[in-house]
Structure 1
């Protein structure tokens, strides 16, 4: 019996996260004002299901950080799908704001876990916790300025996540190391 190489699940999880975040962030930033329901399918399947699968594969490979991050953010997108899709009733802006701030706190703690990782992952988590806090405060205070700011930072977050995930795919296909920058701490 030979050992078969397993694929790295991180590019899938990061790409599902990035694409879904980019589309929703364009709405949050106010760049697009109609058809936000297009995000629901992405939230359920690419942002949600693909990240859940990536999380399970990270668990199987023994990567606690990757498992915790992908599974949590996959669950976030499933929550978004159920909430924004109207499957859960009685949701208020303050409640949504509280959930977003709670995810911001989770992301801030996870960001500390990236200090010995590469610069791409460090930047993605830095921008993401800022995004969550801005969106959470925007929802709680019903402040469109904060929501728009969160949308713009969310666009930057998506770009950082996509770069981090896809640089691994491209580098692997070329037989090189991904250009992700040195760790912040040794």
Structure 2
């Protein structure tokens, strides 16, 4: 007959297994306190580190910026994801129109104000608030892209930092031979770095919703085309426009996910449809297949 301690240990192990962290060793009575201290009461879920007594899990949802099943937090603040998504969307929308040379506007300096204020500061704050609600993915993504817009605005800001001038003009005020090419290559390195980072986040959305995954997929392609445009100046016009097209898709998808997080029965006559991938937990549930967490 199982002892009380063994029963409690079995229940706790089952709870840890449900979080998908099978790499941790089983917990016995002697290790229970240490294990809880190290991983938290729910196994240290990296996507939603939430201290809550709710046993239910919500499916992945772009409106909450959650790429995987997560436990509902005990919220003391509003959902910050729609704010961060909206800040990202508007700033990306304007820059993408400029990359497309819309109405012959090709100079991106108008984006500086948005990149500092809305896409930068506001999105960074939304990322910090995602930390408060326990969303590690949302905090990482929104804070990072807030940092992207602030750093991009710094590059475009004339004087002060003199980033562009450092590549193109020497200390005597004369043009540096090959300086424009060096600047393009440096900007290409900058954009390639963000392409790599976005690819990392893209992998975390493979079991989420179609709209959530598509947001990062189109953004990833936008960074890629814009980076290649810097390395291939002869084809820059077409590549910049390709980046602008995918940037527009990313902007509208960000707005779509933001609306999904805002609209509900209390303020809207309709709810934004959310399509889950068939291999996601929600998709498997709809097909009557147990999720991996339930079969462990």
- TM-score (normalised: structure 1): 0.91
Matched with 2:149 is 77
Q: Quote the Cα distance in structure 2 between the aligned partners of 1:54 and 1:183.
A: 27
- The yes-or-no answer on 1:146 pairing with 2:239 is yes
1:23-172 equivalences under 5 Å are 23-34=94-105, 36-86=108-158, 87-89=161-163, 90=166, 92-142=183-233, 143-171=236-264
SS in 2 for 1:69: helix
1:169 Cα shift?
Answer: 0.9
Matched with 1:185 is 279
Q: Quote the Cα distance in structure 1 between the aligned partners of 2:138 and 2:231.
A: 30
- Give the helix-richer structure, 1 or 2: 1
1:106 Cα shift?
Answer: 0.6
SS in 2 for 1:37: helix
Check the 8 A contact 1:43/1:77 in 2, yes or no: yes
Q: Quote the Cα distance in structure 2 between the aligned partners of 1:164 and 1:140.
A: 33
Q: Structure 1 177/38 Cα, relative in aligned 2: closer, same or farther at 3 Å?
A: same
Work out which structure has the larger RCO, using CA pairs closer than 8 Å and 6 or more positions apart in sequence: 1
Check the 8 A contact 1:168/1:177 in 2, yes or no: no
- Note the alpha carbon deviations across 1:26-81, whole angstroms, 9 max, x for none: 01112143353221110001100111011101111111100110011000000111
Gapped runs of 5+ residues in structure 1?
Answer: none
Matched with 2:92 is 21
Q: Quote the Cα distance in structure 2 between the aligned partners of 1:184 and 1:46.
A: 35
- Would you say how many aligned residue pairs link Structure 1 and Structure 2? 184
- Note the alpha carbon deviations across 1:124-180, whole angstroms, 9 max, x for none: 000000000000110121222111110111111101111111222123633976422
SS in 1 for 2:96: helix
- The yes-or-no answer on 1:174 pairing with 2:245 is no
Check the 8 A contact 1:131/1:153 in 2, yes or no: yes
Q: Quote the Cα distance in structure 2 between the aligned partners of 1:127 and 1:177.
A: 24
Query: Root-mean-square deviation (CA), in Å?
Result: 1.9
1:4 Cα shift?
Answer: 6.4
1:116 Cα shift?
Answer: 2.0
Gapped runs of 5+ residues in structure 2?
Answer: 1-73, 168-182, 281-296
